Amino acid sequence: MVIPNLDQVEADVQRLTLDHHRSELAVVESMLNAYLACFREIDSLTRTADNESEQVWLLLTNRSFNDLKWGFHLLTVGYNLQALTLIRSVYESWLVCMDCVTQPTTATLFLHGQDRMPSFARMARRLDQPLAEWWQDNYPEGTEGPYGFLSTFAHPRNRVANSMILSGSDTVRLGPHYEEWFFLVTCYYLTFASIRMAEFLARLLPSQESTSDLQTAVQDATTLIGNLTERAHHLLNEDTSVRESPN
89 occurs within a structural domain? yes
8 domain-assigned? no
Give per-residue pLDDT as tens, 83-127: 999 999 999 999 999 999 999 999 999 999 878 899 988 998 898
Is 246 part of any domain?
Answer: no
For the chain, percent of residues with pLDDT exceeding 70: 85
Contacts 24+ apart (CB under 8 A), 158-162: 160/81, 162/243
Judge whether 95 and 122 are in contact, CB under 8 Å: no
Owning domain of residue 115: 22-40+49-238
**Confidence (pTM):** 0.87
CA distance 153 to 79: 12
Structural domain contains residue 1: no
Residue 16 lies in a domain: no
Beta-strand (E) ranges in the chain?
none
pLDDT of residue 141 exceeding 60, the answer is no
Residue 120 located in a structural domain: yes
Handedness of CA 226, 228, 234, 239 (dihedral sign): negative
- Is there a contact between 131 and 98 (Cβ–Cβ < 8 Å)? yes
Asked if residue 210 belongs to a domain, the reply is yes
Counting the structural domains of the chain, the total is 1
